[in-house]
Structure 1
Amino acid sequence: MKLTGKQRKQLRQAIISAYPNPSDLEMMVSEELEWNLSTITLGQNYNKIVFDLIEWTQAKNKLEDIICAAYRVAPDNEDLQQFCQPIIRRLEEFIIQPTYNRDYGEFGSPINLSELKSDRQLESLFKPEPNLLDVGFLRRAVDRASSVCRIELSDGRILGTGVLISNQLVLTNYHLLCLEEEKDSTLNTDNLILKFGCYSSESGYETQGYTFQLDSQTPILSSSHTNKLDYLLLQVEPKILQVSDIKPAPWDIDVLPQRRMGINILQHPEGDSMKIAISSNGVREVYENIGLIQYVSRTSGGSSGSPCFNEDWEVVALHHAQRAGSFGKICEGILFRSIYQEISSYLK
């Protein structure tokens, strides 16, 4: 990104307006970007300090970083708003700020993201995917698809998606089986079935795949309520061990997704045959301290419990909520690393 001399002057004036004290600018640069202002400029007056900062960021191709950080911290400053208006759509992806309110009454709006002003702004978050996709990448996607199942009731009702993370262990969302916190989730397991390999065929019909029930003795090994980590660890009947086509998805608790990295979701949206959503820079925020990740992707009803894979096709999160717009969703998932801390004894 390059700015003209006139634009750099406007940006300098806007930054000084939004951060009138040098100490405010120094804190913003340090806390938001982890830059040391004193190593960037030795300016003797504030105008020269901001001028040097802008010149340095342009030379280092970091102009977008300083603009986004300045606007994110002081979005109400009129001068900064006026400067950012021509590029506001590009900035929107950096300023989506969540407010975590877990005290919701009815499941369906489990995250409270700041509202986007229009669907056009939500659409702008979707970067064009490359015209050419690596075949090896797609082969790994197909391989991981064998670990994904559709979760249904015996009467045909479809609840969501799950993922096999060990030989007989499927991970999915708690809220799929238990919409009310006081309700015992074990009441639903007798009629629960898991269908693996539900793909569309050349004829247009869905393949039959493999159907399993849960273990008759211990169907649920571990769980966390919807207002916590929202997961269920299900134990599948031993018959699944006889099917060589079904393989657990790989994961690595030492791998944590990073902001603006790719995220890919294998899912059964609306109970349909399996679909894949690829987002090359979809990760918006990672909140390791509360076990959450937010990302831009395309999901739908039935996608709850779907595995979120990183660019190396390792499970990094479990999709569980979304806020919809016409062109896609701002989604929220539970970090696998956080879930692992509660289920590690079953994965040895």
Structure 2
Amino acid sequence: MFKNARKEDQQRKASERYYSRQKAAEAEGPRKRFRREIIRPLKEAQPIEKRLIFLKPDDGLALERIMGKSDLVGISYLELGLLAARPVCRIQVVNPLGRPEGYGTGFLVGPNLLLTNNHVLYTAELARKSFAEFEFEQDINGRRKVSKSFDLRPDEIFVTDPEMDFTLVSVAPVSTEGTELTDYGLLRLVEATGKVQIGEYVSIIQHPEGGLKQCCLRENEVVDIFDSWLHYVTDTQPGASGSPIFNDQWLVVGLHHSGVPMRDAQGNILKIDGHLYREGIDDPSTIAWVANEGVRISRIFQALESRSENEPMVAEALRRLRSHGTGPVGPAIITAPEPIPSIATELGELPVEHYRLADGYDPDFLGSLHHLPLPRLADNLRSKVAKLKDGSEILTYLHFSIVMNVDRRLAFYTAVNIDGKKLENIKRGRDKWYFDPRLDLKYQAGPKLYEGNPLDRGHLVRRLDPCWGPNAKEAGEDTFHFTNCAPQHGRLNQRDWLEVEDYILKTADNADAKISVFTGPVFREDDMIYRNEYLLPADFWKVVAFVNKNGKLSATAYLRTQKNYLESMEFFDDEFKTWQAPIALVESLTGISFDLPADADPMARAAAGKGLRSQMSNIRRIHSAADIML
């Protein structure tokens, strides 16, 4: 379905490869008929022993098929073909203006990872509006199945290569209809060469012309193998771009990308009737094709490896491809892939005795003259507090405390004391996240919320904030409780609150280098529903209190948002902003009161006499910590 400049360029290059090999073959002897005979052997010999490592030991006819002496396959071949078809999808390409641009084919190759052609999805902007459609096919009774549509997530992974004509893009873990992507399995890619030889037959599962899923079996001879490309005689049509090319073991040996048009001596494209093809006048379906071409899987791995050191997205794509093994031994089709394996995350459980050391938030931390109790929830929120197994309401950890929301399974707020003079820089190890055994699991949003998406476990109490005193290391470990995290887009989470805490600890206005910090999400009734189970907060707040050089209590409040990301499941780089806001605004948004003196907030002092509404509308964009009004 694509007739763009990229597609035409790929066809031109494919023709050049084909005809250069033809000329070399002619120079060696009489001209050979392309469709039935091998043009020439591989320049690098492929010992049959290398091919045998990909075969099952109990397949007695495999060697004969490779040598062209038998077409017999075990009946399980057909069953495996059905499984191999599950991860193959139709790609509906939609341009950034929202207009359909065409169709292609793609297939799942790793956890939430799709492979197709560059000329199908050549920019992240194009992928952002496009989607993958699975089960666009007929059932055994000839009836249309109900297809499932999955959004693409190029902000998570988008890796493309125009020369090799491939694109890897992340896919949403759940369809718009609520189907899990893992239901479709994936095709395991093998890095090693030798998966197919000249003279063998390949099969292609495709969506020709953007239509129902189809498969071309047999009469699909591999007629030539180049360093990076395969040439084969297989029935494909426009729309098949991005299809997997399978050998007899249903291993993917290549990524189909282009037909090879027949040309005359002058290089002009010919039609089926032998006349010149006139672009823009003649029907493209009348072009005479001599072969098809696909890029070899082993070369895709090489291209990724060469870029992985300097491109984090490429490194992550490679990690996902290799997460289920890429060696010759193993299943060709993985029917139930594991969730995306995390490099630095494991689940664990701390003994109940661990929490006996937990002192929690100290309301007199800033001095007895500046008693600052835990925030107070509005009356209508009191019933939503999750009670601990002992009937209490406050989870205490080393130097911080948390109150949980029973409906959201996230914290209403966290409260931490930070002693800047005693802070220790505890090195971060291999993260291990914990459920809190003191609270029923049904009140804690666990790993399921964060699997297979760009949402991070965003610390509410920063890892280093409670790392002071004799148990500094254990205090840092306490921050890795699911009670202390909230779903935040990875790029939001990786951008701190412009290091607000560090700045206030070090400023000359802070008399004792001590602060008390309250943090939490803004809960709204219209927050986005995710996976039919979770409501994702769009905004987060922070309030920092300290004693200034005049001996008075001072407090500042901050807001930041991920609203635009949640609404469109896209990433807008400029939307992750930090704002200094009046504490009264945070109280209004959250229903949480901090019981601070009226003159503690510099934003309120600056707007004194302007009325409450004017004060609450007075927010300040923070570009750097130096912009903070203290």
TM-score range, shorter-chain basis? 0.5 to 0.7
CA RMSD of the aligned region, Å?
A: 3.2
* Structure with more helix by fraction: 1
8 A contact 2:260–2:292 mirrored in 1: yes
Secondary structure of the structure 1 residue equivalent to 2:124 = helix
1:176 is the counterpart of 2:111: no
Deviates more, 1:244-253 or 1:300-309: 244-253
Partner residue of 2:165 out of 230, 254, 278:
230
The match for 2:291 among 316, 330, 334 is 330
What is the 5 A alignment of 1:15-34? none
Q: Deviations over 1:52-110 (max 9, x none)?
A: xxxxxxxxxxxxxxxxxx975433xxxxx5xx8xxx6489622389xxxxxxxxxxxxx
SS in structure 2 at match of 1:137: helix
Equivalent residues in 2 for 1:1-348, closer than 5 Å: 72-75=26-29, 81=30, 89=33, 93-95=37-39, 134-153=74-93, 155=99, 157-178=101-122, 185-201=123-139, 204-215=142-153, 217-220=155-158, 222-225=159-162, 228-239=163-174, 242-256=180-194, 257-279=196-218, 282-288=221-227, 291-324=228-261, 329-341=290-302, 342=304, 344-347=318-321, 348=323
Secondary structure at the counterpart of residue 174 of structure 2: helix
Q: Judging changes above 3 Å, is the alpha-carbon distance between structure 1 residues 198 and 304 closer, same or farther for their aligned structure 2 residues?
A: same
Please state how far the C-alpha of 1:287 moved relative to its aligned partner: 1.6
For residues 184-222 of structure 1, give each alpha carbon's deviation from its aligned partner in whole angstroms, at most 9, with x where no partner exists.
Answer: x122122101011111135645322221001263251x1
Does structure 1 retain, via aligned residues, the 8 Å contact 2:203–2:245?
yes
Distance 1:216 1:261, change over 3 A: closer
Q: CA, structure 1 residues 274+303, in 2 after alignment: closer, same or farther (shift >3 Å)? A: same
**Is the alpha carbon distance of 1:74 and 1:230 closer, same or farther for their aligned partners in structure 2, counting shifts above 3 Å?**
same
SS of equivalent to 1:339: helix
Residue 47 of structure 2 corresponds to none
Asked if structure 1 preserves the Cα contact closer than 8 Å seen for 2:173 and 2:181, the reply is no
Residue identity in the other structure for 2:102: I
Cα displacement (A) at 1:335: 0.5
In 2, distance between residues paired with 1:258 and 1:133? 18
3-state SS of paired residue (1:279):
coil
Are 1:297 and 1:329, in contact at CA under 8 Å, matched by a contact in 2? no
Q: How far apart are residue 255 of structure 1 and its match?
A: 4.4
Tell me: CA distance 1:287–1:275, structure 2 relative to 1, closer, same or farther (3 Å). same
Question: Following TM superposition, by how much is the alpha carbon of 1:238 offset from its aligned partner in structure 2, in angstroms?
Answer: 2.4
Deviation at 1:153? 3.1
Higher RCO (CA < 8 A, seq sep 6+): 1
Query: Deviations 1:10-48 (Å, cap 9, x if unpaired)?
Result: xxxxxxxxxxxxxxxxxxxxxxxxxxxxxxxxxxxxxxx
Q: Give 1:282 shift.
A: 1.1
Could you list the per-position Cα deviations for residues 308-334 of structure 1 after superposition, in whole angstroms to 9, with x for gaps in the alignment?
Answer: 011100111000011257586501100
Deviation at 1:152, TM superposition (A): 0.2
Alpha-carbon shift at residue 346 of structure 1 (Å): 3.9
* Partner amino acid, structure 1, of 2:28: A
Gapped runs of 5+ residues in structure 1? 1-69, 76-80, 98-126, 179-184
- 1: CA distance, partners of 2:201 / 2:129: 36
> Following the alignment from structure 1 to structure 2, what is the Cα–Cα distance between the partners of residues 91 and 177?
31
Residue 268 of structure 1 deviates from its aligned partner by 0.3
Q: TM-score normalised to the size of structure 2? A: 0.33
Mapped partners of 1:272, 1:239: distance in 2: 23
Q: Distance in 2 between matches of 1:254 and 1:95?
A: 24
Shift of residue 285 of structure 1?
Answer: 1.4
Letter matched to residue 95 of structure 1: I
1:333 corresponds to which letter in structure 2?
A: G
Q: Which has the higher mean CA deviation after the structures are superposed, 301-310 or 147-156? A: 147-156
State how many pairs are aligned. Answer: 228
Aligned to 2:368: none
Deviation at 1:134, TM superposition (A): 4.1
Helix, strand or coil: the match of 1:141? helix
Q: d(CA) in 1 for partners of 2:91 and 2:235?
A: 20
Rounded Cα–Cα distance in structure 2 between residues aligned with 1:238 and 1:91: 42
Aligned residue type for 1:199: E
Question: Does the CA contact (< 8 Å) of 1:283 and 1:293 recur in 2?
Answer: yes
1:200–1:344 CA distance, 2 compared to 1 (3 A): same
C-alpha separation between the residues in 2 aligned to 1:91 and 1:296? 7
Q: Secondary structure at the match of 1:150?
A: strand
In 2, distance between residues paired with 1:92 and 1:335?
A: 22
Distance 1:264 1:207, change over 3 A: same
Q: Give the whole-Å Cα distance in 1 for the aligned partners of 2:235 and 2:34.
A: 19
- State percent identity of aligned pairs: 26
3-state SS of 2:128 partner:
helix
Counterpart of 1:293 in structure 2: which amino acid?
L
Quick check: 2:109–2:188 contact (8 Å CA) kept in 1? Answer: yes
Gapped regions of structure 2 (runs ≥ 5) = 1-23, 42-67, 263-271, 273-287, 305-316, 324-630
- The one-letter code matched in structure 1 to 2:164 is L
Counterpart CA distance in 1 for 2:36 and 2:141 is: 43
Q: Return the offset for 1:234.
A: 0.6
- Partner amino acid, structure 2, of 1:251: L
Contact 2:39–2:224, Cα closer than 8 Å, also in 1: no
Q: Which residue of 1 aligns with 2:534?
A: none
Max radius of gyration: which structure?
2
Conserved 8 A contact 1:150-1:196: yes
Q: Distance in 1 between matches of 2:198 and 2:74?
A: 22
CA distance in 2, matches of 1:275, 1:89: 28
Indicate how the Cα distance of structure 1 residues 267 and 91 shifts in structure 2: closer, same or farther if over 3 A, else same: closer
Alignment CA distance shift 1:219-1:344 (3 Å): closer
Change beyond 3 A, Cα 1:203–1:224:
same
Q: Please give the secondary structure, in 2, of the residue aligned with 1:293.
A: strand
